[in-house]
Amino acid sequence: MARIALVTGGMGGLGEAVCMKLAALGYQVVTTYSPGNTKSPEWLAEMEEQGYKFHAFPCDVSDYDSAQDCIARITKELGPVDVLVNNAGITRDMTFKKMDKTNWDAVIKTNLDSVFNMTKPVCDGMTERGWGRIINISSVNGQKGAFGQTNYSAAKAGMHGFTKALALEVARKGVTVNTISPGYIGTKMVMAIPQEVLDTKIIPQIPMARLGKPEEVAGLVAYLASDEAAFLTGANIAINGGQHMY
């Protein structure tokens, strides 16, 4: 029976590439979408045309009760979650001087609280079954910081603290917990940055002199989700073209 992989925020960008990669490897892939997102049927149909039959459930990952309800529905309709990829995230960039509590809270809730909200209802089942993979998508900016991103950098750094602590708790139960910290990846969001900014400000910071590909990060997720990665836990793997080494 195919293992069930849940990718939060999988409709587009990096999450979409992760969904496609895991599906190609035989996982039954489930994703979440924001309640009220009317484009979800359109996306599912588009993916099915490409040969991917995904399942999608509404979920406000920043809300604990919504996450509980979502996982309960997935478990009832499809089965227990074996692989959880905490990918959903937002940005609300501005200098700390201009940042208000609303924009701080929005990013912390969506990018960090969501990791607790989505992991809590699946972790016990993983440990009871003796197998599970929790993969948290952080960012290079959680490692080195970024101008105008105190909220985002704090949330992404917090994800790895969560990873290390939980990894210690579940290591003997066959469950691994790891973080991936991508650099600048050629998603629609990044490609929307003016070309001049990419060419003069961003790419010169990257020793490989290019943006990463979503498929490259998806391949790393696939490895961490595999049986071969059973001895790797509590790690933060940087995939940033050499932009930040530590």
C-alpha R_g of the chain: 17
d(CA 86, CA 10): 10
On the CB side of 41, CA atoms within 13 Å amount to: 2
Q: Nearest CA to 212 among 146, 139, 159?
A: 139
Sequential DSSP letters for the chain? -PPEEEETT-SSHHHHHHHHHHHHTT-EEEEEE-TT-TTHHHHHHHHHHTT---EEEE--TTSHHHHHHHHHHHHHHT---SEEEE---------TTT--HHHHHHHHIIIIIHHHHHHHHHHHHHHHHT-EEEEEE--HHHHH--TT-HHHHHHHHHHHHHHHHHHHHHGGGTEEEEEEEE-SB--HHHHTS-HHHIIIIIGGG-TT-SPBPHHHHHHHHHHHTSGGGTT--S-EEEESTTSS--
52, 152, 223, 246: the catalytic one is 152
Catalytic-residue membership of 184: no
Active site residues: 152
